[in-house]
């Protein structure tokens, strides 16, 4: 199947040559082509350029277009890559939302058996089928919101059986959606109630029982640990990451959300693909990240929802680092997978320019989930996951019009949905 999109007002995030990410001051530059065309053949992008240079495809032998789309007045963006979510979960947690409004902190809610342990209880009670159905609804929702790739974590199971149950759901989702999905084992998300006071034993269980079983069924691409104050220590994180890496799972960790936890440094030490949250980042963390292969990833939805301090994104970019943005879609700290809104939050709360926010939610977040070679930009040979906007005046209008759905047509793997 071939699809030609013509008369595109602006074709956004174009890569002539492959780039793994965009960093520092370059993040303010967005490669775009005005008055453009885009050719998709099968699942892949095969050609693009200015309308005036468009070959006469009708003349080309064997070029019978199944579909031609005139995008006059509209823009084409590469789909968002959402590199950090927990979108397999059972039940919402709006009671805690009210508790938060009344002034309880995230840690206080967690101490009262709320938070992650509340989701773990519901996870235990839910069947695999129920989990699959509800997660698939969320997947459909984010597809409509322009997401073309998503990473999903376990971590609401916290027992061998329930962690495997979550990961099997993710595996089924991978098979049954055009979205590109990566899965992450997050057994060390919280210490389950029955292990409180025996945290070391839980860590041993994660290492000796969970990781080998997850690997045996090939259920996870990556391994994650919530390395933070009140959750898992640097030493525990170190042991868990090392154990996961022995089974081929690269690290992607929750770090420095609640304190200067040492999480960034231990992540970099093990060549983590990304370190995520990063509300507490100072010079030492920035130094550790410099020259590394680890993508600093910021989750503005969680900081907004929990009313936390904002990660020093500008300081990181000024130091020459790349920054990625993700939704953290989960029932406790960020019940939304709307990446366009994440861009708006990044612009207003973190003072990111719209161009920086677009780079951070496409190419850089593709890197943060290990898919930058096939997704994250408009490039020949990449998978054709793109969306066509409604008529909009400028690229900046996307984060600016923060409550409007501006995504008109979604194309995943070359197919118009």
DSSP letter (8 states) at residue 106: H
Q: Nearer to ligand NIG by C-beta: 221 or 279?
A: 279
Which x/- pattern, by CB under 6 A, does the window 126-145 give for ligand NIG? Answer: --------------------
- Select from Fe ion, ligand NIG, none the partner in contact with residue 263, using the beta carbon and a kind-dependent cut-off of 5 to 8 Å: none
Q: Answer yes or no: is 277 a known binding residue.
A: no
Of residues 76-95, those binding ligand NIG (CB under 6 A): 86
Least spacing, CB of residue 277 vs Fe ion, in Å: 7
Phi-psi bin for 281: left (phi > 0), alpha (psi -120 to 50), beta? beta
- Only one of the segments 242-250, 286-294, 326-334, 381-389 lies at the binding site for ligand NIG (rule: CB under 6 A); that segment is 326-334
- Extract the tokens encoding 244: 């996961």
Contact between 254 and ligand NIG by CB under 6 A: the answer reads yes
The CB-of-155 to Fe ion minimum distance in angstroms stands at 8
User: Around 266, how many Cα atoms within 13 Å sit in the side-chain half-sphere?
Assistant: 26
Among 69, 75, 115, 240, binds ligand NIG (CB under 6 A): 115
Judge whether 86 is annotated as a binding position. Answer: yes
Binding flag, residue 328, ligand NIG (CB under 6 A): yes
Q: Which does 244 bind (CB under 5 to 8 A by kind): Fe ion, ligand NIG, none?
A: none
- HSE of 99, CA atoms in CB hemisphere, 13 A: 18
The entry of Fe ion, ligand NIG, none near residue 362 (CB within 5 to 8 angstroms by kind) is: none
Question: Sign of the C-alpha dihedral, residues 404, 89, 134, 215?
Answer: positive
When asked if residue 331 is in the footprint of ligand NIG (CB under 6 A), the reply is: yes
Cβ atoms of 266 and 241 closer than 8 Å: yes
Could you give the string, one character per residue 296-335, with x where binding to Fe ion holds by CB under 5 A and - elsewhere?
--------------------------------x-------
Q: Which does 117 bind (CB under 5 to 8 A by kind): Fe ion, ligand NIG, none?
A: none
Q: How many CB atoms lie within 10 A of CB 208?
A: 11
- By the rule CB under 6 A, 239 interacts with ligand NIG: no
Q: Is the dihedral of CA 144, 148, 153, 157 positive or negative?
A: positive
DSSP 162-211: HHHHHHHHHHHHHHT-SSEEEEEEEEETS--GGGTT-HHHHHHHIIIIIH
Q: Which of 180, 330, 338, 365 binds ligand NIG (CB under 6 A)?
A: 330
43 is annotated as contributing to ligand binding: no
* Residue recorded with tokens 């775009």: 32
250's contact among Fe ion, ligand NIG, none, with CB below 5 to 8 A by partner kind, is none
Q: Which of 132, 222, 226, 350 binds ligand NIG (CB under 6 A)?
A: 226
Q: Which does 385 bind (CB under 5 to 8 A by kind): Fe ion, ligand NIG, none?
A: none
Closest CA to 135 of 172, 163, 160: 172
Q: Mapping DSSP to helix (H, G, I), strand (E, B) and coil, where does residue 14 land? A: strand
Whether residue 124 is annotated as binding a ligand: the answer is: no
CA distances from 270 to 39, 135, 190, 263, 293 (A): 40, 31, 21, 11, 10
Cβ proximity to ligand NIG: between 241 and 386 the closer is: 241
What is the length of the chain?
417
Of 369, 330, 370, 365, the residue nearest 189 (C-alpha): 330
Taking the alpha carbons at both ends of the chain, their separation in whole angstroms is 14
| Binding site, annotated residues | 84, 86, 93, 156, 189, 254, 257, 328, 330, 332-333
What residues make contact with ligand NIG under the rule CB under 6 A?
86, 115-116, 119, 226, 254, 257, 302, 328, 330-333
Residue positions forming the annotated binding site for Fe(3+): 84, 86, 254, 328
């Amino acid at each position: 199947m071939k699809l030609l999109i013509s008369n595109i007002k602006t074709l956004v995030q174009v890569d002539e040559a492959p780039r793994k990410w965009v960093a520092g001051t370059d993040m303010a530059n967005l490669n775009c082509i005005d008055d453009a065309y885009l050719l998709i053949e099968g699942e892949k992008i095969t050609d693009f350029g200015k309308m005036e240079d468009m070959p006469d495809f009708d003349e080309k032998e064997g070029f019978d277009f199944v579909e031609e789309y005139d995008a006059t007045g509209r823009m084409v963006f590469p789909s968002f890559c959402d590199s950090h979510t927990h979108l397999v979960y059972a039940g919402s947690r709006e009671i805690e939302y009210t508790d938060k409004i009344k002034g309880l902190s995230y840690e206080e809610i967690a101490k009262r058996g709320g938070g992650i342990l509340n989701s773990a209880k519901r996870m235990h009670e839910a069947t695999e089928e129920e989990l699959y159905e509800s997660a698939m609804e969320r997947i459909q929702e984010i597809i409509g919101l322009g997401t073309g790739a998503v990473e999903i974590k376990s971590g609401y199971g916290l027992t061998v059986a329930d962690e495997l149950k979550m990961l099997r759901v993710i595996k089924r989702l991978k098979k049954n959606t055009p979205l590109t999905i990566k899965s992450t084992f997050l057994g060390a998300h919280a210490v389950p109630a029955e292990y409180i006071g025996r945290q070391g034993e839980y860590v041993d269980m994660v290492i000796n029982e969970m990781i080998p079983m997850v690997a045996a069924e090939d259920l996870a691409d990556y391994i994650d640990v919530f390395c933070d104050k009140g959750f898992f220590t640097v030493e525990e994180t170190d042991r868990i990451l090392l154990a996961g890496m022995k089974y081929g799972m690269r690290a992607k960790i929750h770090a420095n959300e609640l304190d200067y936890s040492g999480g960034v440094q231990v992540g970099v030490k093990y060549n983590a693909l990304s370190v995520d949250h990063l509300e507490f980042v100072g010079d030492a963390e920035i130094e550790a990240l410099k020259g590394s292969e680890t993508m600093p990833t910021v989750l503005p939805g969680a900081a907004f929802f929990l009313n936390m301090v904002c990660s020093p994104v500008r300081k990181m970019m000024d130091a020459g680092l790349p920054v990625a943005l993700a939704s953290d879609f989960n029932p406790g700290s960020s019940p939304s997978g709307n990446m366009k809104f994440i861009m708006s939050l990044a612009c207003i709360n973190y003072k990111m320019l719209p161009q920086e926010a677009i780079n951070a939610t496409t190419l850089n977040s593709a890197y943060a989930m290990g898919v930058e070679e096939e997704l994250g930009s408009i490039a020949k040979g990449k998978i054709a996951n793109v969306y066509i906007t409604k008529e909009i005046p400028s690229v900046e209008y996307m984060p600016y019009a923060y409550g409007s759905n501006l995504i008109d047509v979604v194309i995943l793997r070359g197919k118009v949905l």
